[in-house]
Structure 1
Amino acid sequence: MTLQKTGHNFTKIAFKPLQTNLFNIVLLSFFLTIGYGNLYSQDISKKTTAIPNNKQVNTSNSVVNNKIKDTVVLKKQTDTIIKKDSIKPPKPFLDGKVKYKADQYARIDQKKKLITLYDKAELYYQDIELKAGIIVMDYEKNEVYAGRIKDSTGKYTQLPHFKQGENEVEPDSIRFNFKTQKALIWNSRSDQGEFKIKAQITKKENDSVYFLKGARFTTSANVDNPEYYFQTNKVKFIPGKKVITGLTNMVIANVPTPIALPFAYFPMSKETNISGLILPSYNDSNTRGFSLQNGGYYFALNDHYDLTVSGDYYTNGSYGMRFESSYAKRYSYRGNLNFRFENLITSERGYPDYLKQKIYNLQWSHARDSKANPNSSFSASVNLGSSKYFKQSINQANIGSNLNNQLNSSISYSKTFNSIPQVRMSLSATHSQNTQTEVINMTLPTLQLSVDRIYPFVGKDGVKKGFIKNINLQYNLSGRNTITTTDSLFFKPQMFRDAQLGMQHSIPLSTNFKLFKYFSASTSLNYEEVWYAKTIERNYDSDQSAVVDKTISGFDAFRTYSFSSSIGTTIYGTFNFGEDKKIQSIRHVMRPSVSYGYTPSFEKYYDTYAIDASGTTVKQYSRFEGGIFGAPGLSNSNTMGFDLSNTFEAKVKDRDSTKVEAKKIMLLNNLNLSTSYNLDADGVTALAWSPVRVSGGTQLLDNKMNVNFGATLDPYAIDNSGNRINLFNINNGGSLFRMTSANMTLNYSLSSKEKDDSKKDKNDQSQRNGGREDDLFGKNTVLNDNTKSQFDGSEESGDDKISEFFSSKLPWDMTFAYSLTYGNNNREKQIIGNSIMISANADLTPKWKAGISTGYDFVQNGVTFTQLRFERDLLSWRMDFNWTPFGTNANWGFFIGIKSGVLSDIKWDKRSTNTTR
């Protein structure tokens, strides 16, 4: 009531009811209540004169107020009145607490409903984080605005950083509505996976949909000045899922290219395993026409397995298919399986050089984690297929496999039974294939079973000491099924008909003991029994006029036994030169040993056959000849062996004068000599002494160079035909020993800085194909594919690298190998092999890498396989050039493409085709 103008008449009316009846009081209270409710929403007018303080008026007001409260209580008792007249409290404009701060000031304007934050302003609300130079929040409109500010030089700084959930944007300015969750963003910058996106205007429709105008997206690190980008005017962007654009044009170095698409779709799922198409690459060949290569589909089966199906097609009808799968399960196993098949057509039907052939290759690698089951293990390393695959493949150039000429495979399973005594069992299958002769040797399978040693004379204390207590025996079983075949008969019925099956049982009884305190002695007695499923019967066939072998199927066996013993010791010698010398001392360790072995004659397993039609001349043979485990010996074997191993170690003064202790260096890791003497040799059919074999090795140049050497020294002379005779070479006018062969190999690796072997490129695919782990034979090349870069991705920033370049610190590495082989079996005294191979890689500039693999054969007087490699780091792009200038594997290849895996199909790959393929 104080909001009304108070007059004299009003005062009389206000007090007059106090002297009237109850009806007038209730009527006046009703009208005053309505008036009070209407006047509550009006603005308070400023008073020019003060209202006089009248206690009676205050009393009247209190009475009226009490009347109103009572009326409200009465209204609350009536449900219909509550439904019509109750007023819901207004909903707050924000659902959570707002936290904010700023360096210079945070100003609140209640009249305009604004909160202004200036300089390093920050605002946090629910999952929204906003940082900017200036932030203005209108809490009446539920909106917030953020923008840049100028520094003292007039340059814009403190760009807004808006984050909601996992989405982050760095624009020039932003306007956001808390209620509708919509936003307008100017010059936004955001990262989505490998993409960096910048747009002139961005409209945020909701949490999952954005519309962009004047947008560019790239994988370059600098989104404001990228080396390339895709320009489009209309974009629909769903974070973490996809980007759909209108007309899209590719821009390189701010120059628009004719490369454009009417629309584009880019998947941006955060899932690691996503199935999808693999776009093929175009190529042309002089022999097979135009082609599409490496096109296919990738199947993300689950978190443990995947499958890639790809293929090639040439216009002359040639095609290829490849199936590649990788699988892994933590703490259980991991591996990969690759199968490649190619149908090759050369020339055209009707021409004399027309040729059609099918080649294939299977690779399987499997490793089981020891934590899965410590009592069993399973592993596989398979590389088999057509012998000509790596030479004729239209999709892969693997020089290492071509020069190695050998494919090997092995699959093995082993299990340990924790019984007493312990039993170990293993099953394995092996494969060895010569790609030149196309001969394949396989074992399907090999069984090995062994029972742990049993010490029958050990007491309860378990001490094994002395000759008697150390007596032990064990049981070994070896079973093999071997197959020798060729490419043309591989996995055909004839391959299995020619298989040989055999089993060997052995029970060794042995003991070891000390002799005269300084000697270690051992002796053993070995019993063997061999089972065969096939034997032979040899006779002279008069129809064929030749000696023929007839295969006899059926079980047969022979039994042998042998005895052996050995004694050895260790001798230490130190030569001291004085602590003031550079070489203070040399330590020499010798380990001589003498062994003896005896195997009697098993003539009972031998028969005779006639060598001609007359039958007068016969020879002995064993029906077990040609078996897997051989045949029993016809004559006694009574030999004594001599072995001597040596190591040489030096103690030298350390170059670091602060160190007191001398430095130990290894002079020779090993120097071994071995020979044997036949006690039953008669000097005619058998010579007593066998050649002396010398071998050794050491490491030089801070253990960076490995040196290995070996030689064979024959004490006997030879006749004019080159046969050994019972005459010592020294008695024939020669030296004490005649060197019949010798070899030496050097391997040296060095680099400008130490490398982490775990991060070093091991050329894994080349190893699986049968090549080397280093790049002495060049790097494996997959045609029309985004090959691995020489840049490992851990380079320093551009400025650091350029400054390093001017300091002449160019990273480099080199691998060096040298091999020398000498032959003199028949006094030819020739260097059979003498070759050197070098592989080097270096950074010519911070952005250029170059490499070379080459060598020279001094016997053939020619350059060995040579490969030149160049690579340019173009920031978001990569360019490389490989060239093999000469030889049967001469080829070249040029590649330029985007590094990012998302855009790996944007590339240009051109390679020459080897005419021999």
Structure 2
Amino acid sequence: MFKFATSKTKPYFYKNSIKPLQRNLFNIVFLTIFLTLGITKTYPQDLPPKSNPIPAKNQVDSTKIELTDLTKVIDSTKKDSLKPKKSFLDGKIKRKAVDYEKLDQKKKLITLYNQAEVYYQDIELKSGIIVIDYQKDEVYAGRIKDSTGKYSQRPVFKQGANVVEPDSIRFNFKTKKALVWNSRSQQGEMNIKAAITKKENDSVYFMKGARFTTSKDIDNPEYYFQTNRVKLVPGKKVVVGLTNMVIADVPTPIALPFAFFPMTDKARSGLIMPTYNDSNTRGFSLQNGGYYFALSDNYDLAILGDYYTNGSYGIRFESSYAKRYKFLGNINVRFENLIQSERGYPDYSRANNYNIQWTHSKDGKSNPNSRFSASVNLGSSKFFRQSLNQVNVGSTLNNTLSSSISYSKTFNSVPQVNLSLTATHSQNTNTEQINMTLPTLQMSVDRIFPFAPKDGIKKGFFKNINLQYNLRGENRIATTDSLFFKSEMFRDAKLGFQHSIPLSTNFKVFKYFSASTSVNYNEVWYFKTIQKEYQATTNQVIDKEVAGFDAFRTYSFSAGLGTTIYGTFNFGEKKKIQAIRHVMRPNVSYSYTPSFEKYYDTYDPDGSGTMRKDYTRFEGGIFGAPGKNMSNNVGFSLSNTFEAKVTEKDSTKTEPKKVMLLNNLNFSTSYDITADSLRWAPMRVSGGTQLFKQKMNVNFAATLDPYAINNSGQRINTWNIDNGGSLFRMTSANMTLNYSFSSMDGKESNKKNEQGKRNGGREDDLFGTNTDLSDRRQSQFDQDDDEEKPVSEFFKYELPWDMTLAYSITYSNARREQEITGNSVMISMNTDLTPKWKIGVSTGYDFVQKGVTFTQFRFERDLLSWRMDFNWVPFGDNAYWGFFIGIKSGVLSDIKWDRRSLPDRTLR
């Protein structure tokens, strides 16, 4: 026996889970229409003769009543001893027809012709002709011929959400049996058409000449499963005999002697069939086989596994959960034991890789004062480079994995208090370094204005004085892949708390200047400090860890003064560019932090006792250490925006169009008052703008140093212009350009690479699309399979297309090297050759390394109920190809052909 069960779910709650056949067949629901239409015979005019007349009895004359008999008079309100027959129908029948309604008393027939309709309670029956034979207790509904001689007005029966559309119906409401010709019904994702359907009783139905398909066109499907014998038990199962798969009306060799379909409107547990493949390095394999558990309406679980003949294997747990108006999320846990070559060979290696992904989001309306969210992506640094089931170049090239789990709560007190707990994780997959906080505690008390009036505007220096309280506590862990979740990882954890109380105010100066001042008090608590000692046996200085509570306190002062200057350059209303508006925001700031020498001690670096060096026991703390040197800086910054007024091409518009020339152009530097040399910091210049109707983003930045350098490349206290150079020396510069455009006439594209982004790669497809080998039914392109798009007879000559372009260039001149250290371009293009053919390519070129970057070709054909694609990476470390053709529907997801050549990944 073959059992078709639910396939594993995908991103949302039930991931394309198999929904087996439901009990929505016509002969189930049609029974309700006519169950009561023949229980009692109907006589349209005369009353029926009584077959057993009641004999008359001698009765007392009611006009002769004596006074003594008044108390024995029968109450006229008492019910008749003869119970009336129950009404034929419990409700009213409404019926109508366009041509006529015919009543044939001799043949006992009621005929409704042309657009006949019958309504009874929640039941609707529409057909070309409806005939009720109240002598034979039968009802007939069928089609009629139109003016061209073709049959039209197929019967349509509807009860609630259930709809059945056969060619004709014949039903006997006395025996409760029915015959249905060419019935059409939908059971979940499956459409069923049967030549003859026979209702035996309330729980058993038989079909002959039935077709099962997921095609939307049930009359002309591109494929279907043909069987002659079907037994249906509503709400439980469907059992079929010999079943043959037919494609384009051509029978195929694919056949089953018999099959069993469980029927339910919910997901069901069942086996997931594996995919066969082979690899040059790991031998033959069975991949993505397992079992799906439909645990409840709120959560599920899929267990999948891979096995290779060289001993490599993998196992994955995938679960989705959701509760309406509360939360939703999913968890993926993957583990792989990978073996390279064979034991005894010099290239033999073995690696254990794992990856854990968890996303959780909470509906903000369920509790506005409490929030919880999670976005986790952690595991082995080499997982995406060596995985058996992921082809994700964006994740492979990315060198960072990050996670965050946070809970926050707001206390609606006066003042308001916010509290949050966060656990974070950051992992460099190149160095295999891992930094975590388990957890981070943050608490803040809302601003308090002690001198502000209860009512009225806070104006002036004193009224705007405000203070806050902030608390931050961290348990920070720095470890590596090899020590992850081992005792050494927790032994080296660093714990600390930081308290800060900022006191600030703001006010106006000379009407046009905004001034602000602040005093910040900080107190830091540590539970581990260090003590530097010279160790004579090893002739080196060691850091001795001292356990116990210790703290330091610092304070600082800062002030700022800024304004906004507006300038307009008018060129005339008749000019194409009428005016340019320039907005400048200059700002001068001052900051002062005193020296905290009291927290510093000395140590002997060589054991001679002749030289002492300063250090603080708080070195290496997670919140830093108090500064020994006084800081006294003045900062300067200037931000600019440029906007133009352009004459509209449309003469009907009276107002000019505003065009942004530069979103921002920023200059910033600082001057150290206490420094004995090199007081000026390099000037940082940055800017950005958007071009071509905001489709192209351009960002640039440069660092300009006013000081010269010596022959060894070190900065000297000499102006660069006095050393024979220009006013500023450009030490570095970079520019990035991103351009996305398409033929969609300004419409935004929804193209996203969600799983690729979740794995740590890019959201766009500049590094290709993410390929999850466990489920290839999803399209590689941006499309909505459920959206009905009209297809004209002739395809649009302007092919639909989209393109994403990214360019980056980096210049370095810190030591007069004058080098272009980075210069690359990446491009991704997708187009529709026909309404059903899609192609795409992602590629790029590195002008510094002089080579083509990652390149991927994508081909896809929409075959209505089927999908076919070919994915090809022609060269590079990730070279591979993959071909897939299969049914889109999750009900028959195991009917597919998936062939691929995975990259031969080396375990290092």
TM superposition score normalised by structure 2: 0.88
Post-superposition offset of 1:114:
2.0
Is the CA contact 1:93–1:139 (under 8 Å) kept in the aligned structure 2? Answer: no
Give the partner amino acid of 1:180.
T
- Cα distance change, pair 72–868 in 1 and its aligned pair in 2 (3 A): farther
Is the CA contact 2:700–2:734 (under 8 Å) kept in the aligned structure 1? Answer: yes
Give the partner amino acid of 2:778.
K
Post-superposition offset of 1:147:
2.9
1:69 aligns with 2:56: yes
Is the CA contact 1:176–1:183 (under 8 Å) kept in the aligned structure 2? Answer: yes
Q: Secondary structure at the match of 2:613?
A: strand
Aligned counterpart for 1:496 among listed residues 483, 490, 496: 490
CA distance in 1, matches of 2:364, 2:157: 48
- Cα distance change, pair 374–754 in 1 and its aligned pair in 2 (3 A): farther
Give the partner amino acid of 2:784.
D
Aligned counterpart for 1:189 among listed residues 178, 184, 191: 184
Post-superposition offset of 1:680:
1.2
Give the partner amino acid of 1:171.
P
Is the CA contact 1:804–1:810 (under 8 Å) kept in the aligned structure 2? Answer: no
CA distance in 1, matches of 2:184, 2:577: 67
CA distance in 2, matches of 1:70, 1:787: 84
- Cα distance change, pair 159–479 in 1 and its aligned pair in 2 (3 A): closer
> What does 1:140-159 align with in structure 2 at a 5 Å threshold?
140-159=135-154
Aligned counterpart for 1:750 among listed residues 738, 741, 754: 741
Deviates more, 1:614-623 or 1:709-718: 614-623
CA distance in 2, matches of 1:95, 1:503: 76
Alpha-carbon deviations, 1:587-635, whole Å to 9, x = none?
Answer: 1111111111111222222222233243433322222111112221121
- Cα distance change, pair 523–270 in 1 and its aligned pair in 2 (3 A): same
- Cα distance change, pair 472–114 in 1 and its aligned pair in 2 (3 A): closer
Aligned counterpart for 2:720 among listed residues 704, 720, 729: 729
- Cα distance change, pair 654–625 in 1 and its aligned pair in 2 (3 A): same
1:487 aligns with 481
Give the partner amino acid of 1:777.
F
Is the CA contact 1:472–1:509 (under 8 Å) kept in the aligned structure 2? Answer: yes
Give the partner amino acid of 2:760.
G
Aligned counterpart for 2:313 among listed residues 319, 324, 330: 319
Give the partner amino acid of 1:889.
N
Post-superposition offset of 1:318:
2.1
Is the CA contact 1:521–1:566 (under 8 Å) kept in the aligned structure 2? Answer: yes
Please report the RMSD computed on the Cα atoms of aligned residues, expressed in angstroms.
2.5
Q: Secondary structure at the match of 2:360?
A: strand
- Cα distance change, pair 298–149 in 1 and its aligned pair in 2 (3 A): same
CA distance in 2, matches of 1:167, 1:652: 60
- Cα distance change, pair 88–666 in 1 and its aligned pair in 2 (3 A): closer
Q: Secondary structure at the match of 1:387?
A: coil
Post-superposition offset of 1:813:
1.3
Aligned counterpart for 1:786 among listed residues 776, 787, 792: 776
1:178 aligns with 2:184: no
1:913 aligns with 902
Alpha-carbon deviations, 1:58-104, whole Å to 9, x = none?
Answer: xxxxxxx9x96347999xxxxxxxxxxx9999888777655443333
Q: Secondary structure at the match of 2:793?
A: helix
Give the partner amino acid of 1:397.
V
CA distance in 1, matches of 2:87, 2:502: 92
CA distance in 1, matches of 2:433, 2:243: 57
1:705 aligns with 2:699: no
- Cα distance change, pair 103–720 in 1 and its aligned pair in 2 (3 A): same
- Cα distance change, pair 201–456 in 1 and its aligned pair in 2 (3 A): closer
Structure 2 stretches lacking a partner, 5+ long: 1-48, 62-80
Alpha-carbon deviations, 1:333-363, whole Å to 9, x = none?
Answer: 2222221111222223333333222111111
CA distance in 2, matches of 1:257, 1:426: 62
Give the partner amino acid of 1:710.
A
Structure 1 stretches lacking a partner, 5+ long: 1-39, 43-64, 75-85
CA distance in 1, matches of 2:469, 2:873: 56
Alpha-carbon deviations, 1:501-521, whole Å to 9, x = none?
Answer: 222222222222111111111
2:46 aligns with none
2:249 aligns with 254
Post-superposition offset of 1:787:
3.8
CA distance in 1, matches of 2:421, 2:270: 40
Give the partner amino acid of 2:142.
G
Is the CA contact 1:781–1:787 (under 8 Å) kept in the aligned structure 2? Answer: no
Give the partner amino acid of 1:752.
S
> What does 1:565-714 align with in structure 2 at a 5 Å threshold?
565-683=559-677, 687-714=678-705
> What does 1:509-548 align with in structure 2 at a 5 Å threshold?
509-548=503-542
Is the CA contact 1:192–1:240 (under 8 Å) kept in the aligned structure 2? Answer: no
CA distance in 1, matches of 2:889, 2:864: 11
Aligned counterpart for 2:97 among listed residues 85, 102, 112: 102
1:559 aligns with 2:553: yes
1:880 aligns with 869
Give the partner amino acid of 1:500.
K
Q: Secondary structure at the match of 1:902?
A: helix
- Cα distance change, pair 209–68 in 1 and its aligned pair in 2 (3 A): closer
Alpha-carbon deviations, 1:427-457, whole Å to 9, x = none?
Answer: 2111110011100011112222222223332
CA distance in 2, matches of 1:654, 1:401: 46
Is the CA contact 1:93–1:142 (under 8 Å) kept in the aligned structure 2? Answer: no
Q: Secondary structure at the match of 1:801?
A: coil
Post-superposition offset of 1:795:
5.0
Is the CA contact 2:858–2:872 (under 8 Å) kept in the aligned structure 1? Answer: yes
CA distance in 2, matches of 1:365, 1:831: 41
- Cα distance change, pair 382–756 in 1 and its aligned pair in 2 (3 A): farther
2:111 aligns with 116
Give the partner amino acid of 1:774.
D
Alpha-carbon deviations, 1:448-500, whole Å to 9, x = none?
Answer: 22222233323454642222222222222222121111000001111111111
* Identity rate, percent: 73
CA distance in 2, matches of 1:73, 1:142: 46
Post-superposition offset of 1:321:
1.7
Give the partner amino acid of 2:461.
F
1:760 aligns with 750
Q: Secondary structure at the match of 1:762?
A: coil
1:860 aligns with 2:849: yes
Post-superposition offset of 1:783:
1.1
CA distance in 1, matches of 2:512, 2:86: 98
CA distance in 1, matches of 2:370, 2:168: 64
1:811 aligns with 2:806: no
- Cα distance change, pair 484–118 in 1 and its aligned pair in 2 (3 A): same
Is the CA contact 1:450–1:474 (under 8 Å) kept in the aligned structure 2? Answer: yes
1:895 aligns with 884
Deviates more, 1:151-160 or 1:190-199: 151-160
Q: Which one scores higher on RCO, CA 8 angstroms, separation ≥ 6? A: 2
1:245 aligns with 2:240: yes
Aligned counterpart for 1:833 among listed residues 810, 822, 829: 822
1:904 aligns with 2:893: yes
Is the CA contact 1:802–1:846 (under 8 Å) kept in the aligned structure 2? Answer: no
Post-superposition offset of 1:166:
5.3
2:217 aligns with 222
CA distance in 2, matches of 1:593, 1:519: 10
CA distance in 2, matches of 1:68, 1:874: 79
**Which has a greater percent of helix?**
1
- Cα distance change, pair 164–512 in 1 and its aligned pair in 2 (3 A): closer
- Bigger radius of gyration, 1 or 2? 1
Deviates more, 1:297-306 or 1:353-362: 297-306
1:430 aligns with 424
Alpha-carbon deviations, 1:718-746, whole Å to 9, x = none?
Answer: 01110000011111111110000011111
Alpha-carbon deviations, 1:95-131, whole Å to 9, x = none?
Answer: 7655443333332222221223333333445665443
2:467 aligns with 473
> What does 1:315-354 align with in structure 2 at a 5 Å threshold?
315-354=309-348
